[in-house]
Structure 1
Amino acid sequence: MTTELLKPEAFDAQQYFERIYARPVILEAKKLSQVFGTGKAQRTVLNQLDLKIHKREFICVIGPSGCGKSTFSRVVAGLDGYSSGEILVDGQPIHGPSPERGMVFQGYTLFPWKTVKENVMFGPKMKGQSHASAEAHAREWINIIGLEKYENHYPNELSGGMKQRVAIARALVNEPKILLMDEPFGALDPYTRQKMQRHLMDLWQNIDITIIFVTHDMDEAILLADRIVALKANPGEIKEIIEVDLPRPRSPELLLTPEFKRLRERVDFLVHAQEDELDPALENLPKIPRMTQVSTTK
């Protein structure tokens, strides 16, 4: 057998995205806008967003602070309303929260007075499942996230990574169509963050779920996403949608490749190119008066 035959099949990005776009559209935003305040205090956070997300896509949303990333995820979750336009799941308008759209936040939103098992059981019990049925479903997901030894522990007895795994299990136990994640790994140390990224990719590749993932971390967005939705600020609009044409499964070693660096440069340009899209409070920072006699030079 020749060396050529031992090589893995080359990744065909065009074919990969053709398969994605052939799937049904699970989420669609049509001219979606969100305006906060009135009069001179009025601020357009989302402006005329048009976006189609297909079933089982992994979408990352990036952009400068204040561009509306978290607002968009909260609107999709049904936690916030919107000013105009439409937001549809399977062609039906969103009216408030629903188990079909799970949400994982950056902060640890577990009930501190409930154990791991009780936290994960909460959703099924709210849907009317019996205690035994809810417990069985909870244990199934606790096993999937690898925390079966901790099912009777309370949140204050868990590490940050463990808490987020419980939060993910609590969202997925309801069998949502869409999982929304708003900076879920932002508070974790780099090592734990990498492990959580790999675990999330494994979950997504093995279950029937569409993920919308908000992040400030450009490397994270490229590592995880099928497509990256880059928003611009003031007002929040879609600046560009990038197809991540890198093969799966992906590992941290991918960050060292020329292909990854090429995408990284493009994403970095989209997020930081225009100064007027960044925090206006940073434009004219005052000169710091000298308040020490200790020299910074030798």
Structure 2
Amino acid sequence: MNHSTFNAHEYFQKIYARPVLLEAKKLSQVFKHGKTERTILNQLDLKIHKREFICVIGPSGCGKSTLSRIVAGLDPYSHGELIVDGELIKGPSPERGMVFQGYTLFPWKTVKENVMFGPLLKGASNPSAEAAAREWINIIGLEKYENQYPHQLSGGMKQRVAIARALVNEPKILLMDEPFGALDPHTRQKMQKHLMDLWQNIDITIIFVTHDMDEAILLADRIVALKANPGEIKEIIEVHLPRPRTPELMLTPEFKKLRERVDDLVHAQDDEVDPALEDLPKIPLMTSVNED
């Protein structure tokens, strides 16, 4: 698909014709501490279709990570409904895989043992779990490293193992919370391409949390922009750019125009300070050294 043949209207018509896989109805999350309450997410209404790639962006404190943890079933929500494939989310499930910014691999297990963990937990036999793990280790291109431990791997390799460990369970939804945030720019770019290749070749819906606006535009079908205090959906943007996408696309006028729009959405909220950053104390002078 290229610029001359890409029809955004047709592309999104096909997406919206697919079944709704995830639906949030008036979803809210309220944190209570003593007599104080803080609304993290407020009345979110959102429909995500099968095989969509959704990126969630917004300022610090808008509830991006909270949303991903709620969808994963790791955190409860206070009000509303969250439905996956027609069923209410009531806790974690192998159908919703999660990849964090930290690599969260078991340091005492090899690459193969880390990827085998999920199938074994679900009751698979050792040979069956090993075969499934090997298949995904081959897909992520780490077959030469299957017997190595996490501390022997680079950051990009660790994150590929984390992705394989999530996908080996054949989830319907893959949740990714700043998964490439700790990587250097070159590795991050390679991982973005690898993730797009995976998504375009397997039956998976991805919800990807990021602070990086270029990354969101490069990856997403739609970008969900949240505002802070409380966390609400400010706008949902369709990314009218052809696939497959490459870093060269970032140099085009179409990309730059969309980048400006997304940038305005996020930075228009600079005055909406995260409560954690309010009333920062004045730092006392702790040294006698001056600039002279």
TM-score computed with the length of structure 2 as normaliser: 0.95
- The corresponding residue for 1:235 is 230
Aligned residues of 2:82 and 2:88 also touching (Cα < 8 A): yes
- The corresponding residue for 1:4 is none
For structure 2, which runs of at least 5 residues remain unmatched after alignment? none
- The corresponding residue for 2:9 is 14
Distance 2:264 2:274 in 1: 16
Secondary structure of the residue that 2:271 maps to in structure 1?
helix
- The corresponding residue for 1:85 is 80
Could you say if the C-alpha distance between residues 285 and 245 of structure 1 is closer, same or farther in structure 2, counting changes exceeding 3 Å? farther
Matches within 5 A, 1:66-77: 66-77=61-72
Aligned length: 289
1:33 to 28, 32, 36: 28
Question: Which of 37-46 and 246-255 deviates more?
Answer: 37-46
Q: Deviations over 1:178-198 (max 9, x none)?
A: 000000000000000000000
Distance 1:12 1:278 in 2: 39
Could you say if the C-alpha distance between residues 50 and 135 of structure 1 is closer, same or farther in structure 2, counting changes exceeding 3 Å? same
Aligned residues of 1:32 and 1:47 also touching (Cα < 8 A): yes
Could you say if the C-alpha distance between residues 35 and 8 of structure 1 is closer, same or farther in structure 2, counting changes exceeding 3 Å? closer
2:274 to 279, 284, 291: 279
Matches within 5 A, 1:135-146: 135-146=130-141
- The corresponding residue for 1:205 is 200
Distance 1:291 1:187 in 2: 36
Secondary structure of the residue that 2:256 maps to in structure 1?
helix
1:180 and 2:171 are equivalent in the alignment:
no
Could you say if the C-alpha distance between residues 287 and 171 of structure 1 is closer, same or farther in structure 2, counting changes exceeding 3 Å? closer
- The corresponding residue for 1:218 is 213
Distance 1:20 1:120 in 2: 31
Distance 1:270 1:282 in 2: 22
Q: Deviations over 1:171-223 (max 9, x none)?
A: 00000000000000000000000000000000000000000000000000000
Aligned residues of 2:116 and 2:165 also touching (Cα < 8 A): yes
Could you say if the C-alpha distance between residues 269 and 125 of structure 1 is closer, same or farther in structure 2, counting changes exceeding 3 Å? same
- Tell me the percent identity: 80
Aligned residues of 1:112 and 1:156 also touching (Cα < 8 A): yes
The alpha-carbon deviation at position 39 of structure 1 amounts to 6.2
2:97 to 97, 102, 121: 102
Question: Which of 274-283 and 225-234 deviates more?
Answer: 274-283
- The corresponding residue for 2:154 is 159
- The corresponding residue for 2:119 is 124
Distance 1:146 1:177 in 2: 22
Aligned residues of 1:272 and 1:278 also touching (Cα < 8 A): no
- In the TM superposition, structure 1's runs of 4+ consecutive aligned residues that sit over 6 Å from their partners are 282-285, 287-291
Q: Deviations over 1:247-285 (max 9, x none)?
A: 000011111111111111111111110333233526878
Aligned residues of 2:23 and 2:82 also touching (Cα < 8 A): yes
Secondary structure of the residue that 1:231 maps to in structure 2?
strand
Distance 1:137 1:269 in 2: 45
Matches within 5 A, 1:260-271: 260-271=255-266
Distance 2:253 2:278 in 1: 33
Letter in 2 for 1:106: Q
The alpha-carbon deviation at position 10 of structure 1 amounts to 1.8
Distance 2:94 2:107 in 1: 21
Distance 1:146 1:67 in 2: 36
2:165 to 164, 170, 174: 170
1:113 and 2:108 are equivalent in the alignment:
yes
Aligned residues of 2:111 and 2:146 also touching (Cα < 8 A): yes
2:53 to 41, 53, 58: 58
2:291 to 270, 290, 294: 294
- The corresponding residue for 2:187 is 192
For structure 1, which runs of at least 5 residues remain unmatched after alignment? 1-6
Aligned residues of 1:231 and 1:238 also touching (Cα < 8 A): yes
Aligned residues of 2:59 and 2:269 also touching (Cα < 8 A): no
Q: CA RMSD in A?
A: 1.8
Distance 2:33 2:284 in 1: 35
